[in-house]
Amino acid sequence: MAAVQALDPIAFKLGPLSVHWYGIILGTATLVGLWVAVREGRRHGWVSDVFFDMLVWVLPAAIVGARLYYVIFQWDYYAQNPMDIIAVWKGGIAIHGALIGAITAGYFYTRKKGIPFLQMADIVAPSLLLGQAIGRWGNFMNQEAHGGEVSRSFLEDLHLPDWIVNQMYIDGAYYHPTFLYESVWNVVGVAILVVLRKFNPRRGEIFFGYLIWYSLGRFFIEGLRTDSLAFDGPVWLEGVLEVLWSPMYVLFEPGAMAYGNIRTAQLVSVLTVIAAVAVIIVRRSTGRAKVKYLDAGEVPEAT
């Protein structure tokens, strides 16, 4: 068999500085998401400065949140190597942490600007999901966040181009392209959210729909991965998560876990779905969801 050549994770070099595809892809994801949000914001009469200003709040919070989340769930290592906590270039960020940081910063930004948080959240929800879809290709270039072993024929049966199949050849074996599964899932979610807003749903429900859609996909795809953040939890909780994931056994085997028995991302995803559905029900049943997505709302002033 001919040697399988992986793609170079380094895009180019500027003297001693190596520019990685991972950073380029994440930067592209941010810019594309910002552009989509600005376009939708204009339909609501919002100037682009509102989103540029928000990005100044949200982007640092997302980076810090992504790193802290990872560090917390790898504390045994970082407690012994505290200087590595800031060594982001060595890897170790988590999307759930980024979302927690970004949503928290976005909430305080909207409070400062005097606009409803859910109005802003609805506008940017498709942008978040699209950014996540693009960002997963950074994992592809780094040959990380993959699933368990599969055969080359399995990947070829998915009608994937050779450059994707070859990139999933790592240390003598082929692996599930879980980055691709999640990216495609997120793109489908973007389309659903765009269609949903044409029906003028109640304020907040596009955002909650985003949380539900992403979390459902993440729960099932996470079960295939071999690099999950995890912890040792009660046996009953392990059993609940296994039952919820059981439909996947028809076609797949779960990815091996390096440690722990509870995948953090799966637990967070389940809790997110429950919380989002509960909030929708409570807001509707208490009459707090009367305002629709396209109803005139607060228009932030330009700064």
How far are the Cα atoms of 41, 215, 225, 249, 251 from residue 245, in angstroms, in the given order? 38, 13, 13, 8, 12
Determine if the pTM surpasses 0.85. Answer: yes
List, in sequence order, every residue forming a beta bridge with 12; answer none if it has no partner.
Answer: 19
C-alpha distance from residue 98 to each of 51, 67, 83, 104, 235 (Å): 18, 8, 21, 10, 29
Instruction: State the pLDDT at residue 10.
Output: 93
Distance CA 97, CA 187 (A): 21
pLDDT tens digit string along 135-193?
Answer: 999 999 999 999 999 999 999 999 999 999 999 999 999 999 999 999 999 999 999 99
Q: Which residues of the chain have pLDDT under 50?
A: none
Contact of 128 with 210, CB cutoff 8 Å: yes
Asked whether residue 136 is marked as a ligand-binding residue, the answer is: yes
Whole-angstrom distance, CA of residue 218 vs CA of residue 105: 23
The β-bridge partners of 288 are none
**pLDDT score, position 303:** 57
Q: For the chain, give the longest Cα–Cα distance.
A: 65
Residue 84: the pLDDT is: 86
Beta-strand pair 10-14/17-20: antiparallel
The two structure tokens encoding residue 97: 């942490």
User: What pLDDT does 88 receive?
Assistant: 76
Please tell me the distance from the alpha carbon of residue 122 to that of residue 130, in angstroms, as a whole number. Answer: 14
Please tell me whether residue 12 adopts helix, strand or coil conformation: strand
Cα separation, 6 vs 277, in Å, equals: 42
Predicted local distance difference test score (pLDDT) of residue 183: 98
Q: What is the bridge-based pairing of β-strands 17-20 and 169-170?
A: unpaired
- pLDDT at position 211, please? 99
Please spell the DSSP secondary structure of 60-122, one letter per residue. Answer: HHHHHHHHHHHHHTTHHHHHH-GGGGG-GGG----HHHHHHHHHHHHHHHHHHHT--HHHHHH
| Predicted confidence (pLDDT) per residue in 229-257, tens digit | 999 999 999 999 999 999 999 999 999 99
What integer pLDDT is reported at residue 274 of this predicted model?
A: 99
Angle at 214 between CA 211 and CA 215, to 5 degrees: 80
Q: State the DSSP string of 148-185.
A: SEE-HHHHHHTT--HHHHHHTEETTEEE--HHHHHHHH
Taking the CA atoms of 295, 109, 57 and 192 in sequence, report the sign of the dihedral they define: negative
